[in-house]
């Protein structure tokens, strides 16, 4: 009977804690695949709980608010995956800097929160993703040629 409330609390608390950690972490120090898995799990769980609480307007509203926060972060997952890619080289950072129009250099002060602040243009986000897509394709071709 209390299990759905417990799940709501645990998932909301975990997401908010991890969200803060991800946003304040140095770019490149996190595992983008683990973040993607966690976010998908939180979203699925909260979405189901929101349906469970359909007869309880206040709790349904709370779970809906949490779901919206998760959805907002999910929209940034392509950037998280791109910038968290361990294959990012200096030349990629240079191209990203050219695209966004300001210098971005991997280092201890470069956090996901800072990147998100600067990358408010969805056009820039797509171009940054294109940089890494090209690199992945290039790396894949090199692997095929070597084999």
CA distance linking residue 116 with residue 120, whole number of Å: 7
- Residues paired with residue 111 on neighbouring β-strands, in sequence order: 26
Cα 97 to Cα 35: distance, rounded to the nearest angstrom: 24
Does the pLDDT at position 142 exceed 70?
Answer: no
What percentage of the chain reaches a pLDDT higher than 70?
81
Nearest to 81 by CA among 49, 40, 51: 40
d(CA 52, CA 55): 8
Note the pLDDT tens digit of each residue in 6-42: 999 999 999 999 999 999 998 888 899 999 999 999 9
Nearest to 138, CA basis, from 97, 103, 95 = 95
The tokens for 118 are 């600067």
The domain segmentation of the chain, as residue ranges, is 3-78, 87-146
Q: Is 121 a residue whose pLDDT tops 50?
A: yes
66-79: average pLDDT: 94
Please provide the average confidence, as pLDDT, over all residues in the chain.
84
């Amino acid at each position: 009977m209390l299990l759905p409330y417990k799940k709501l609390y645990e998932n909301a608390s975990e997401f908010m804690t991890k969200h803060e950690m991800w946003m304040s972490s140095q770019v490149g120090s996190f595992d983008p695949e683990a973040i993607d898995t966690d976010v998908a799990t939180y979203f699925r769980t909260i979405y189901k709980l929101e349906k469970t609480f359909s007869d309880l307007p206040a709790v349904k509203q709370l779970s809906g608010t949490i779901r919206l926060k998760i959805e907002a972060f999910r929209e940034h997952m392509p950037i998280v995956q791109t910038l968290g890619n361990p294959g990012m080289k200096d030349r990629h950072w240079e191209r990203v800097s050219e695209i966004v129009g300001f210098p971005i250099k991997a280092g201890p002060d470069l956090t996901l929160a800072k990147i998100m602040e600067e990358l408010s243009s969805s056009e820039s986000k797509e171009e940054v993703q294109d940089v890494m897509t090209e690199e992945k394709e290039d790396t894949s071709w090199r692997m095929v040629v070597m084999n």
